[in-house]
Amino acid sequence: MTDKTDDFAAPPGGGNSFEDDWAAAMTEQAIAESAASGGARRAEIFPSFDEPGTRPSLISELDMILDIPVQISVELGRTRITIKNLLQLAHGSVVELDALAGEPLSVFVNGTLIAQGEVVVVNDKFGIRLTDIVTPSERARKIGH
């Protein structure tokens, strides 16, 4: 039966490089363990969130997402028509919507209803004045239905 370390070539000079590397690694580990147990503090690459005062503030957490673009769309109303009727639409055609005149418009962010409002004109441009913000609990309730 042969020793497993016999499979490695010995460097010139007669020593076994495998055993030398292994001994060096074991010595390095022993030094690191004795330093850690002797009250020396390990270098921390990442902050610990368990210690008070090291948790990132809500403001810094929000700063990470403030530049993410979102799509806002405003819906005046909806309707369903057949393809035949759709193909017959021309300039000046009127499409009847399910919303009543004076009803608030729906404001969607990335497809999720977040508010309702009314049309305003500012400097010859259309805008929307928000009249009701949908709370997170109301959004959750609508998802459940």
Q: Where are the domains of the chain?
A: 1-66, 69-144
Predicted confidence (pLDDT) per residue in 95-130, tens digit:
999 988 888 999 999 988 999 999 999 999 999 999
pLDDT at 35: 65
Topology of domain 69-144, CATH: Surface presentation of antigens (SPOA) (2.30.330)
Closest CA to 106 of 81, 137, 73, 79: 73
Average pLDDT, the chain: 78
**Euclidean distance between CA atoms 31 and 44, whole angstroms:** 18
How confident is residue 10, by pLDDT bands cut at 50, 70 and 90?
very low
How confident is residue 27, by pLDDT bands cut at 50, 70 and 90?
confident
Q: How far apart are the first and last CA of the chain?
A: 74
pLDDT at 139: 78
How confident is residue 32, by pLDDT bands cut at 50, 70 and 90?
confident
Parallel/antiparallel/unpaired status of strands 125-133 and 105-109: unpaired
**Euclidean distance between CA atoms 139 and 142, whole angstroms:** 5
pLDDT at 38: 57
Question: Does the global pTM surpass 0.75?
Answer: no
∠ at Cα 99 (96, 103), nearest 5°? 140
